[in-house]
Structure 1
Amino acid sequence: MILLSRYDYIIAGGGASGLSLLHHILQSPLRDKSILVVDKTRKEQNDRTWCFWEAGKNPFESIVYRQWQYVDFYSANFSKTLDLAPYAYKMIRGIDFYEYVQAQASQSDRVHFLQADVQAIEDTENGAVLRTDVGNFEADWVFSSIRADNEKAQAKGHHYLLQHFKGWVIRTPAPFFNPEQATLMDFRIAQNGDCRFMYVLPINERTALVEYTLFSADLLSEETYDQALMDYLRSFYQLDDYEIEHEEFGIIPMTDMPYPSAGGKFIVNIGTAGGITKPSTGYTFTRIQQDSQRMVQRLSKGESPQRHINRWQQRFKIYDSTLLNVMVHNFHPSSDVFTHLFRNNPPQRVFRFLDEQTNFWEEIQVANSVPKLPFVRGLTKALIK
C-alpha cells in the first residue's frame, strides 16, 4: 500500500465512531473518495461489546450477535419482566464489527489504514493536516474521535462521573440460562452510595455475558469487580460451577461538560470526543450511527459536515444534567430512581425519552413518574449552573 500525502477524508481513530463513519461513507455516493484511517492499535481483538435498544433494524443488523425482546428489571422492592416490542435489546461484539467494516474497506483501493500515533491535528488554508509519528497527512476534512488526555480537568464546573464495568462471558457445564430473556438491570446488589447494577445477557442455554456496572467518580480495584461478579452469581443464581471464557472492561464518561463538536474549521470531532455519548446513560452506539448518517448526507450535498445546534433539542441536556445532579449529590438513591422510572412507565416511553424522541407531554409523564423533590433540586442546579 502506498500512502498518499493528501486525502479527501482522514479518520483519526478506528473504533466505533471512526469505523461507523467509514461504513456510511462506503455505502453512499462518496464511496470513491480517498480515505485514510489512522489508529495506534490494530482492531483485531474482541475488546468490547456494544449493547443498545432499537425498534427496527440498524446498518449492522447482519452482525447483531444476539437480541432480546423480553428483559427483566430487579430492585429491592420491585421486579418485572418487560416486553420491549417493537423494541429489542441488541448486542454487537467488537470483533464482528471491526471485521465487517474492514472487509468492506478491503473492496476499495481508495481506503488506506495506518497504524500510527496521532500527535496533532491542525487547520490549513484549504483543509486540515494530521501529524503522526510516521509522517504528516493532509485532507479536505479530518474526523477525530481522539479525546483530550486532561478531559476530566476540563470539566471544571460540570459533573464528570464514570460509567465503568467489568464483564465475564461465562459457560456452565449444563443448560442453565433462558436465551430468550435477559436481565437489563438488577439493583439488588449493595449500592454503597453509588448507582450499581448487574445485567445478564444469555447467548445460549449455557453461555451468558454477566456484567457489573457502576456510575461513580472513582474506579474499583480489579479484585473488587471480580468479587462482585462471583458474589452475584452465587447469591442470585446459586451458581459456582462455570468457566470464564472472556473478560471485558470499559470506562465511559458521564458528563454534562460541553464537548467541542468542531476541532477546527475543517476538523470534526466524532463519537464521545464530539459529545455524542448520552451523558445520563453512557449509551453511544445508536447515536453514532445517527450522527454518521447526518454527516455523510451533508457531505454528499457538498455541505459542511459540522453540526448545527437545535435549540429545542437542547432541553435534553438539561434533563441529563438534572439526573447527574441527583446522582452526584445523592439527592435520592439511583436504584430507586430507576425503579420508579420502569414501574411507572412502559419501557417504550422510557426508551423514547432516553433516545430524545419524546414530545413535551411524554416528558411531563416521565417527570411525574419519579420522586419530585430530588428532581426539583437537581433541575434547579442544572438551570443555575
Structure 2
Amino acid sequence: MITPDYYYVIVGGGLAGLQLALRLHQDVFFKGKKIAIIEPSKKSANDKTWCFWEKGRGNWDHLIAKKWNKGKFISSELSRDLALEPYSYKMINSLDFYDYAKEELENSEDIFFIKDRITKIDQVTRNAIGEKNNYTATHFFDSRLDSDFKNDEKSSLIYQHFKGIKIKTEKAHFDPEIFTMMDYRVKHKEDTCFTYILPTSKNEVLVEFTFFTPSLCKESVYDQKLEEYIHSILKIDHFEIIETEKGIIPMTDYPFHKSNTRYLTKIGTAGGWVKASSGYSFKNTEVKVEKLIENIKSGLHPSANLMNKKFQKYDAIFLDVLQSQNNLGESLFTKFYTKNSIQEIFSFLDEETSFSEDLKIMLSLYHPQFIRSFFKKI
C-alpha cells in the first residue's frame, strides 16, 4: 500500500479551512499527522469583514477590531433600539484573521501551506489533482463550492449580495457605540434590501448595501444606493473611501452534505455551514469545526450529526417565502425585530431555542405565504 503524502488535505485556505487547521493544530490528538492546506491565493488582502454575536469572552477576542453592545433596526416606518447584553456584536477584519492563522500554523511541524489550485479529487485513488501537482491523503476537507446547487429544483435559493465602503469624514458624524443591523429606508424596486452600518469611530464607518434576492444586480446599483444612503440618510456630502468590499453568499437549503463520503468532507459554504436564513458564517464555522473535531476523536465520520434538521427545516421555509415573494422582506424582518427581543433572536439564529420558543418566533412572522411554504417543504 502506498503511504499517502498527507494525513489530511484541506482544500481552501479561507475561513473554514483555516479555522479547521487551527483546531487540528491545537489538539494533541492530531500531533504527528501531516496536514496540507492547499490554496491558490496568498490571502494577503483585507477582503472581508466578519461579524458575529457572542456572550462574554470568546476564542477570537484578540482579533476583534470593534464590538458593540447597542444596535438599531430601522424600517420605513419605525426605529427600534437593540440593547444586546449579555451579547455583544463583534467585528473581525479578514486580514487580521488570515495573518494570525498563518503565523500560528507556519510554526507547526505538521502543517504545510501549498499554493496550488485543486481541480479534482479522485476518491478512488485518494488523489487531489492540482494545476501544479497531485496530493494523496487519507481524508480530504474540501471548501470548493459545487455549482449543482444553482440548478436543484427541490431547493430554495436566494443570494445575499452586497457592496460595502468604509468611509472617513473630516467631522464627527457617527456614534461608534451603536451599529445598525438593518435600515430599510433606501429601497430598490420591491426587492428585499437594506443598509448595514458599522461605525468604528466618530468619523469612520462601514456602509454596506445588501440584497436578499433570487437574482443579482449590476454593480452600478450598489454604488447608486450607497451614494443615496450617505447623502440622504447620513447627510454627508464630503468623504474619503478607505476600503471597498463585495460579496455574494448563497442562502439555500440545498443538501450540500450529500457530497460527503468516506474519504471527503465538504466544509464552509460548500458544506452548508453558512446559516441559510441569515448568511452569517464566522461563528457558525467555529461551532461546526468543534463538532467535526469531536466526531473524528470519537471514531465517527467528520460530518456526523453536523446539521440540525429542525433548524434546517425552519431555514428552508423562510427561504422559500423570500424566494416566492421577495417583496415581503421588510415586513417580515420588521416583525422579527419588533415582536421578539434581540436576545431571543440571537438564540434562535444560534439554533439554541426550544420548540415552544421557536413557535413564538414563528407566530410573530405569520403570513399566509408561510403556510404555503410549510406544506411545500415538509
TM-score range, shorter chain: over 0.9
Rounded Cα–Cα distance in structure 2 between residues aligned with 1:77 and 1:351:
23
Letter in 2 for 1:380: F
Letter in 1 for 2:112: H
Aligned to 1:172: 169
Q: Deviations over 1:273-322 (max 9, x none)?
A: 11111111111111111111112223334443232367xx3121221121
Aligned to 2:67: 67
Q: Percent identity?
A: 33
Aligned with residue 318 of structure 1, among 313, 319, 329: 313
Mapped pair 1:8 → 2:3: no
1:150 Cα deviation (Å)?
A: 4.4
Letter in 1 for 2:57: K
Q: Deviations over 1:40-98 (max 9, x none)?
A: 11111111111111223332221011111100110012211100111111111110010
Rounded Cα–Cα distance in structure 2 between residues aligned with 1:225 and 1:206:
22
Aligned to 1:47: 47
Aligned with residue 263 of structure 2, among 266, 287, 293: 266
Q: Deviations over 1:106-165 (max 9, x none)?
A: 21122111111101112247xx32111111111121101011244412x22221111101
Letter in 1 for 2:353: T
In the TM superposition, 1:357-376 aligns within 5 A as 357-376=352-371
Rounded Cα–Cα distance in structure 1 between residues aligned with 2:364 and 2:188:
22
Rounded Cα–Cα distance in structure 2 between residues aligned with 1:331 and 1:116:
40
Does structure 2 retain, via aligned residues, the 8 Å contact 1:340–1:370? yes
In the TM superposition, 1:67-86 aligns within 5 A as 67-86=67-86
Rounded Cα–Cα distance in structure 2 between residues aligned with 1:315 and 1:183:
29
Q: Which moved more, 1:327-336 or 1:14-23?
A: 327-336
In the TM superposition, 1:135-174 aligns within 5 A as 135-153=133-151, 155-174=152-171
3-state secondary structure, aligned to 1:77: coil
Letter in 1 for 2:316: S
Aligned to 2:332: 337
Letter in 2 for 1:117: R
Rounded Cα–Cα distance in structure 2 between residues aligned with 1:369 and 1:149:
35
In the TM superposition, 1:82-101 aligns within 5 A as 82-101=82-101
Rounded Cα–Cα distance in structure 2 between residues aligned with 1:305 and 1:331:
36
Rounded Cα–Cα distance in structure 1 between residues aligned with 2:263 and 2:56:
34
Does structure 2 retain, via aligned residues, the 8 Å contact 1:331–1:374? no
In the TM superposition, 1:100-119 aligns within 5 A as 100-119=100-119
Q: Given the two structures, how large is their TM-score scaled by the length of structure 2?
A: 0.95
Aligned to 2:17: 18
In the TM superposition, 1:206-285 aligns within 5 A as 206-260=203-257, 262-285=259-282
Aligned residues: 375
Letter in 2 for 1:342: Y
RMSD over equivalenced CA pairs, Å:
1.7
1:32 Cα deviation (Å)?
A: 3.6
Unaligned runs of 5+ in 1: none
3-state secondary structure, aligned to 1:320: helix
Mapped pair 1:133 → 2:131: yes
3-state secondary structure, aligned to 2:201: coil
Q: Which moved more, 1:79-88 or 1:155-164?
A: 155-164
3-state secondary structure, aligned to 1:24: helix
Rounded Cα–Cα distance in structure 2 between residues aligned with 1:222 and 1:99:
30
3-state secondary structure, aligned to 1:260: helix
3-state secondary structure, aligned to 2:257: coil
